[in-house]
Amino acid sequence: MTKLPATTPIADLVRWAKMRWRIEHDYRALKHGLGLDHFEGRTWRGWLHHVTLVTAAQAFLTLRRLDPTAQMPA
């Protein structure tokens, strides 16, 4: 079900559905693979630092995955 107009092209609907899947996949990777949900601190600053580092790690891994010339360290 969608709130988009009935005239919305199918190609746009498919593209947006794939985008949603990508977002959910990335969130799952952030949460389980990079420890987004492991923060146990009590301060806003601590939480912000944790989220910033997790996001930076995700960006680094994404760039490595997208770069065909990147070599994995031995």
14 in a domain, yes or no? yes
Domain presence at residue 1 = no
* Successive 10-residue mean pLDDT values, the chain, 74 residues: 82 88 88 89 93 93 84 63
Q: Does the predicted model carry a pTM greater than 0.85?
A: no
The whole-number pLDDT of residue 73 equals 63
The number of domains in the chain is: 1
Q: Is residue 38 part of a domain?
A: yes
Q: Please indicate, yes or no, if residue 47 is contained in any of the structural domains.
A: yes
Give Dmax over CA atoms of the chain in angstroms.
53
Residue-range definition of the domain harbouring residue 38? 10-66
| C-alpha Rg value of the chain to the nearest Å | 17
- Asked if residue 34 belongs to a domain, the reply is yes
Rounded Cα distance between 45 and 47, Å, is 5
